[in-house]
Structure 1
Amino acid sequence: MIRAALVDDATVIRGALAGMLREIEVVVAVSTAEELIARRLEVDVVVLDLHLVNRTQPDALQGVAAVQALVEAGYAVCVYSQEERRWVLAACIAAGARGVVSKAEPLDVAEQAFAEVAAGGSVVPAPVAGLIEVLVRRRSITLLGERQRQVLAGRARGLTYAEMAQQLHLSESTLRGYWHELIGTVSEHLQHTAPADIERALGLAPGDLLDAWPRSRS
Structure 2
Amino acid sequence: MRPAVAVVDDASLIRESIGLLMSGLDVVAAVATVEELVRRDPVVDLVLLDLHLANLEQQPDVRQGIAAIRTLTGRGHRVCVYSQEERRFVLAACVAAGASGIVSKALPRERAEELFLDVAAGGTAVPQPVVGILEVLVRRDCITLLSERQRQILHGRARGLSYAQVARELFVSESTLRGYWFDLTRSLSDSLRSLTPGEIERALGLAPGDLLEFWADDGTTDHKDWWRIGRGR
CA deviation after TM superposition for structure 1 residue 50, in Å: 0.8
TM-score (norm: length of structure 2): 0.85
1:142 corresponds in structure 2 to 144
1:39 corresponds in structure 2 to 40
> Which one of 81, 84, 87 corresponds to residue 86 of structure 2?
84
CA distance in 2, matches of 1:99, 1:212: 17
CA distance in 2, matches of 1:112, 1:45: 13
- Deviation per residue, 1:183-205 (Å, 9 max, x gap): 33323323232201211111222
CA distance in 1, matches of 2:147, 2:79: 26
CA distance in 1, matches of 2:132, 2:97: 18
Superposition pairs for residues 1-218 of structure 1, below 5 Å?
A: 1-54=2-55, 57-215=59-217
TM-score (norm: length of structure 1): 0.90
Identity of aligned residues (%): 58
Runs of 5+ consecutive residues of structure 1 not aligned to the other structure = none
CA distance in 1, matches of 2:39, 2:6: 13
Q: Secondary structure of 2:151's partner?
A: helix
CA deviation after TM superposition for structure 1 residue 209, in Å: 0.7
Contact 2:123 2:186 in 1 (8 A): no
Q: Secondary structure of 1:117's partner?
A: helix
CA deviation after TM superposition for structure 1 residue 173, in Å: 4.0
CA deviation after TM superposition for structure 1 residue 29, in Å: 0.6
Report runs of 4+ in structure 1 exceeding 4 Å deviation.
Answer: none
Q: Secondary structure of 1:75's partner?
A: coil
For the aligned residue pairs, the C-alpha RMSD in angstroms reads 1.9
Figure out how many residues of one structure are paired with residues of the other and give that number. Answer: 217
2:70 maps to amino acid: Q
Runs of 5+ consecutive residues of structure 2 not aligned to the other structure = 220-233
Q: Which has the higher contact order (CA 8 A, sep 6+)?
A: 2
Q: Secondary structure of 2:206's partner?
A: coil
- Deviation per residue, 1:98-148 (Å, 9 max, x gap): 111111111111111101101111111111101111111122222322222
CA distance in 2, matches of 1:66, 1:54: 15
Contact 1:53 1:59 in 2 (8 A): no
Contact 2:91 2:130 in 1 (8 A): yes
CA deviation after TM superposition for structure 1 residue 216, in Å: 5.5
CA distance in 2, matches of 1:22, 1:155: 30
